[in-house]
């Protein structure tokens, strides 16, 4: 399930959370943590791929090092992505809002 990263209502800084809220989602806190970890990795990969694609739009084979560092569009895009919530915060929000699909391996083996 893809999330609209630009409109994420996830926290942009660290906050204290009640682990019971996560445990209730799966019945096991460790299972919840593993699910959020895997989703966080997916989000991170998606964000990296998206950012790389956008930055490549501005790259040209004739750029020298100075031109690359002075490219305003690239700098603005990078700043935007830096300000987004961290992937783990997005995964936690998805879990708490029941937007995280969990598939158990033992269910697949039946």
Q: List pLDDT tens digits, range 19-32.
A: 999 999 999 999 99
Domain extent listing, the chain: 15-97
Q: What angle do CA 22, 47, 61 make, to 5 degrees?
A: 165
Give the distance from CA 39 to its chain's centroid.
8
**Summary mean pLDDT of the chain:** 82
- Tens digit of pLDDT for each residue in 48-74? 999 888 888 776 655 565 555 567 778
- Nearest CA among 2, 14, 21, 18 for reference residue 85: 14
Burial (CB < 10 A; 0-12, 13-18, 19+), residue 46, is middle
**Does pTM surpass 0.85?**
no
């Amino acid at each position: 399930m893809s999330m609209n990263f630009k409109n994420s209502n996830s926290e942009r800084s660290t906050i204290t959370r009640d682990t019971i809220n996560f445990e209730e989602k799966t019945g096991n806190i460790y299972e919840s943590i593993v699910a959020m970890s895997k989703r966080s990795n997916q989000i991170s990969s998606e964000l990296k791929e998206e950012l790389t694609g956008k930055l490549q739009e501005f790259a040209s084979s004739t750029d020298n090092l100075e031109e690359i560092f002075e490219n305003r569009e690239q700098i603005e895009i990078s700043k935007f992505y830096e300000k987004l919530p961290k992937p783990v915060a997005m995964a936690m929000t998805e879990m708490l809002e029941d937007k995280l699909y969990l598939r158990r391996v033992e269910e697949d083996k039946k």
